[in-house]
Amino acid sequence: MASVKTGIVMMNLGGPATLDQVEPFLLELFADREIIKLPFQSWLGPFIAHRRAPKVRGLYAAIGGGSPILRYTTAQGQGIVERLDRLSPDTAPHGFYVAFRYVKPTSDDALRSMAADGVERAVAFSQYPQFSCSTTGSSLNELWRALDRTGLRGAFDWSVIDRWPVHPGFISAMTATVREGLERFPPETRDRVLILFSAHSLPLHTIDRGDPYPQEIGASVQRVVERLAAPNPYLLAYQSEVGPVRWLGPHTEQIIRMLGKRGQKDVLVVPIAFTSDHIETLSELDREYGAVARTVGITNYYRVPALNDRSDFLDALADIVREHLVSGRTCSTQYPNRCPGCVNDACRQIPRGRAAASSPAAGSSGSPDTARAAPAAPPSPAPRHAPAR
């Protein structure tokens, strides 16, 4: 087997694949201050995790005994690689490597596999379309820490795809799911269906530091609505709050209750920030909020599936990576722009590659072979190719 020239690290939070993994997953989640910052976290985090574990195990049991996110991420990775080998032969062969936060495969697993495959160029590809320090930022920080744990710092030439909230392919695929969802409603009421976009919430202390997540979510919603060009009313709400801290709202459940109270009968829910179905779509949106909708008089409640392994979405993912490879950029122009209230010195760094790590200039900023991301250079002129269809 030929060595992999370009490795694509697909970063996401992940989810427990079995019921036995639920409590360890929660313990890791509530211990991570880059995700959730709690008072007395070393005590309160485990307390919340242990207390929530039985209920959360029941939720996973109800959706099949575990999260399907690894299955979907694997299918997405395979789709990206198959398309990229055709679209970008100069950077082929390509390989994909899944890096989850609290379950296998972890960042350490991904890096070791990359080393074994002989990867030269590495692309850290966030699977969160909209950037947040709590999601993409913390995943990148963990990936860089894993380089030290595995002894592979300086082994690869790195670049980062840190956000893609308005990429045309992503917007097109998301809009297609909305159109398909609207077709499930009777023609005579279809134009009156309220489209409720739902995204994962964030603690307000993260937003107050200047995190760009809310505006990037809003940008995705606006592009989808514009492309949809339908008369339907729409709203944006946030879900999945956990822990005793204040979260970004309005809350999705609260909005559903208000809609029922004002007599709204038809609601189409769109998971605008989730690219794979998992417990927050299959359990929270479908089962929990679906039950709430019925109790408040919403007679037609439907949630569109996440993008998962749709062919048009795989085309979009491959085009995002192709554009990045062609551009020659290390990261987006926004990535070096730290939140004004950031207190984490590890944020917004990119490890130096093999040549840079061995040069006398290496380590002039950051750790010995990690540099603060510089503003991205403009892309090199290159022909634009349409993604494979």
Whole-number Cα distances in Å, 20 to 55, 276, 284: 13, 22, 20
Q: How far apart are the C-alpha atoms of 85 and 94, rounded to whole Å?
A: 6
Residue type at 324 in one-letter notation: H
The residue annotated as part of the active site, out of 94, 108, 157, 167, is 167
Asked whether 170 and 164 are in contact (CB, 8 A), the reply is yes
What per-residue confidence (pLDDT) applies to 344?
Answer: 81
What per-residue confidence (pLDDT) applies to 372?
Answer: 63
| DSSP of 297-357 | T--EEEEPPP-TT-HHHHHHHHHHHHHHHHHT-SS-SSTT---TT---TTTTEEE--HHHH
Among 12, 121, 2, residue whose Cα is nearest residue 69: 12
User: Which residue, chain included where needed, has tokens 């940008």?
Assistant: 219
Please give the chain's pLDDT, 389 residues, in tens.
568 999 999 999 898 989 998 898 888 777 777 776 777 777 777 888 888 889 989 989 999 999 999 999 999 999 999 999 999 999 999 999 999 988 999 999 999 999 999 999 999 999 999 999 989 999 999 999 999 999 999 999 999 999 999 999 999 999 999 999 999 999 999 999 999 999 999 989 889 999 999 999 999 999 999 999 999 999 999 998 876 678 999 999 999 999 999 999 999 999 999 999 999 999 999 999 999 999 999 999 999 999 999 999 999 999 999 999 999 999 999 999 988 998 888 788 888 766 454 333 333 333 435 566 655 444 333 333 333 33
What angle, 0 to 180 degrees and rounded to 10, lies between the N-to-C axes of helices 41-62 and 22-31? 140
Q: How far apart are the C-alpha atoms of 54 and 102, rounded to whole Å?
A: 18
pTM of the model: 0.88
Domains, the chain, in order of start with CATH, read 6-16+68-164+312-372 (3.40.50.1400), 19-62 (no CATH), 168-303 (3.40.50.1400)
What per-residue confidence (pLDDT) applies to 347?
Answer: 85
Annotation says 205 is catalytic: no
Annotation says 278 is catalytic: no
The residue annotated as part of the active site, out of 266, 319, 324, 369, is 319
